[in-house]
Amino acid sequence: MTARVEPDDIYVALVAELARTAVPTGIMGITLVGVGLFIARTLQDPVLLAAAVIGGIASLGKLALITLQGYRPARGTGTRAEARVWDRAHLLVTVVVASCIGAVAGAAFLQPDVEMQMLATGLLFGYCSGVVTHLSVRPGMAIAALLLAALPAIVTAGWNGSMSHGILATMFGLFLLGAVQGVFTAHRNTARQIALRLDMAALAGRDALTGLANRLGLHDAFRDRHRSSGEAVAVHCFDLDGFKAVNDRYGHAVGDALLQEVGLRLRGLLGASALAARTGGDEFVVLQHAVHDAETAEVLAREIVQALGRPYAMAEETIRIGLSLGYACAPGISADLDALIGAADAASYVAKRRGGGIHAAGLPVACRSLAAGSPLP
């Protein structure tokens, strides 16, 4: 049976939740150091003293890690590879803290002093409840922490030999099983909530009829890719010549089917090289990535006109439409999407007045100078 691999976006979001554990991490670090130092001093045990100090240092390291991770999203979008680095770093410090708690709790139950055992019990239950609540987003990490923290106390309490300690060890074991079950339940619920949130965000940026991006999705794509990368961009704006006549003759159902077919052809044509958006009615915008010169934008413009100008078989007839397409381009760093759309849209009206086809906004030299970083006039 193979392990289930979480989708990249859900995995990244789950790992990001680890950055929200600063307060419980700080509280547990203080508690671990306080209880550990008290028990170590009472028993005059240098090993427990080292465990308390190492646990405190690891807790500070985890707080530093949380702080760094919290600032990271402001510098760029997360990827699975990046999230894996954070995941492993959290696992490392978590294992150290859990091991220190296990050492302190295990040592306490080897002693006859009930006061120390009470302190260890409080430390152990506080930590395990925090693990279930805050670390269940990464179930492997959470279960490792539970086992490392609780098993030493279970073993030493059972080793004590008295009936009451045997009952206590059994209780700890049952609580541990319940905690493991709680981890899986919490992880499943959190993953579902994140998946729903991501789906809703995706739907908010998508046109319901064609499945293409809408205005919101178009602006998000431009911001995420071109504002961060600075690569040159071209914007193509067009509407469908003759679409109103199709609606009037065949009805809106056929008109909607035609728009859907346009969306399918655009997705098949563009692939990962560009993003298509329906911005209203029969109006479309294509955001072209990695534009090197005027010819790159011109080639795509002609491919769009050719692909969408082919006949459509629907309503038991062959339907033909034309396109009036205008395009504009600029370096990604200096480009303003609304200004580019405005320029490309104005160029499309020029094409429409000429009877359809393609028209470039401004001078072609504006695209040829993209490598030098010159903005569109």
pLDDT of residue 317: 84
Q: Is residue 189 located within the same domain as residue 248? A: no
Q: Is residue 174 part of a domain?
A: yes
Distances (CA, A) of 228 to 148, 264, 276, 318: 43, 29, 20, 44
Q: Is residue 315 part of a domain?
A: yes
Q: Which residue has better confidence, 280 or 71?
A: 280
Query: Lowest-confidence range among 20-24, 157-161, 254-258?
Result: 157-161
| Whether pLDDT at 315 is above 80 | no
| Residue 206 DSSP one-character state | B
Q: Is residue 263 part of a domain?
A: yes
pLDDT of residue 333: 66
Dihedral pair phi/psi, residue 133, rounded to 5°: -75, -40
220 is catalytic: no
Query: Lowest-confidence range among 14-23, 141-150, 175-184, 360-369?
Result: 360-369
Q: What tens digit of pLDDT does each residue of 141-165 get? A: 999 999 999 999 999 988 876 888 8
Q: Is residue 210 part of a domain?
A: no
| Residue 180 DSSP one-character state | H
Q: Which of 204, 235, 261 is the last residue of a domain?
A: 204
Q: Is residue 348 located within the same domain as residue 237? A: yes
Q: How far is CA 225 from the centre of its chain?
A: 15
Q: Is residue 224 located within the same domain as residue 164? A: no
Q: What tens digit of pLDDT does each residue of 162-188 get? A: 888 889 899 999 999 999 999 999 999
| Whether pLDDT at 366 is above 70 | no
Contacts of 312 (CB under 8 A, 6+ apart): 258, 261, 318, 319, 320, 321
Structural domain count of the chain: 2
Which residue in 87, 207, 239, 282 is the catalytic one?
A: 282
Determine contact, residues 67/135, Cβ cutoff 8 Å. Answer: no
pLDDT of residue 278: 93
Q: Is residue 336 part of a domain?
A: yes
Query: What does 86-113 look like in DSSP terms, one character per residue?
Result: HHHHHHHHHHHHHHHHHHHHHHHTTSS-
Q: How confident is the model at residue 368 (pLDDT cuts 50, 70, 90)?
A: very low
Query: Lowest-confidence range among 201-210, 329-338, 348-357?
Result: 329-338
Q: Is residue 71 located within the same domain as residue 99? A: yes
Q: Is residue 181 located within the same domain as residue 246? A: no
pLDDT of residue 227: 56
Q: Is residue 53 part of a domain?
A: yes
Q: Is residue 209 part of a domain?
A: no
Q: What tens digit of pLDDT does each residue of 51-70 get? A: 999 999 999 999 999 999 98
Q: Is residue 141 located within the same domain as residue 285? A: no
Q: Which of 153, 180, 204 is the last residue of a domain?
A: 204
Q: Is residue 1 part of a domain?
A: no
Tokens of 376: 């569109």
Range of the domain at 95: 8-204
Determine contact, residues 347/337, Cβ cutoff 8 Å. Answer: no
Query: Lowest-confidence range among 58-62, 290-294, 344-348?
Result: 290-294
Q: Is residue 170 located within the same domain as residue 264? A: no
Q: Which of 204, 235, 270 is the last residue of a domain?
A: 204
